[in-house]
Structure 1
């Protein structure tokens, strides 16, 4: 039951974050929105790591996490830019189709 609650909370968090990030990108520069988002995300992740008591991750894991962060930042930046200049009702569903790619690679 906890897994379902956490999945719903994560989905709501991503959905609200994308919506308000896109909305804010219409008023502020996309880079400003990304910097604020990444700073808060890094602070939350660092707090979690420090409070979990599991110790710090190794350099390999940190490098992979940094690469994933850069890729995610580029992707969310493209989404926010699309939402800033286009219709959210079109940009959001089109960008959601990208989730099919890792699924197709995984089963293919």
Structure 2
């Protein structure tokens, strides 16, 4: 069984970003800019939260997949890579979650 990874999704988004908006939903989203992509990601986050509380596991999985896809499209628009996110998570794991949260500006 082949295992699809977030790195695979990042590559697919990169590939589809090179297509025309007529051929690619990803390209159409990117062409609408960061604000539109952020709005779409927010809608998916809301749908994911509702599914987590009111729906079955399958619905939550489906909505979470939509959320991750839209987050990664937004990351693409803003020039953020999975490697950037992984580096930040690595930095955060050097201390406890409470200490990390307290170290954030404005905490």
Query: TM-score when scaled to structure 2?
Result: 0.41
Which structure has the highest helix share of the two? 1
Query: TM-score when scaled to structure 1?
Result: 0.41
